[in-house]
Amino acid sequence: MDQTAATAAISGKEHWTRKGDVKLFLWEKKAADGKGANGTVLFVHGSSMASQPTFDLQVPGRPDLSAMDWFARRGFNTWCVDMEGYGRSDKSRDIYFDIANGADDLAAASDYITKTTGTRQFLVYGISSGALRAAMFAERHPDRVSRLALDAFVWTGKGSPTLAERAKKLDQWKAHKRRPIDRAFMHSIFNRDHPGCAENEVVEAFADAVLALDDSVPTGTYLDMCANLPVVDPAKIKAATIIMRGQWDGIASVEDLLDFFSRLPNPDKQFAVMAGISHASFQQINYRTVYHILHSFFTQPEPIYRG
Q: Report pLDDT for 3.
A: 44
pLDDT per position as a tens digit, 235-249? 999 999 999 999 999
Q: Report pLDDT for 1.
A: 53
pLDDT per position as a tens digit, 116-155? 999 999 999 999 999 999 999 999 999 999 999 999 999 9
Q: Report pLDDT for 62.
A: 85
Residue 254 has pLDDT above 90, yes or no: yes
CA nearest to 248, candidates 165, 129, 152, 158 = 152
pLDDT per position as a tens digit, 138-149? 999 999 999 999
Q: Which domains does the chain have, with CATH numbers?
A: 3-298 (3.40.50.1820)
Q: How far is CA 4 from CA 1, 16, 28, 246, in A?
A: 8, 31, 20, 32
| DSSP 3-state of 44 | strand
Q: Does residue 139 contact residue 233 with C-beta atoms inside 8 Å?
A: yes
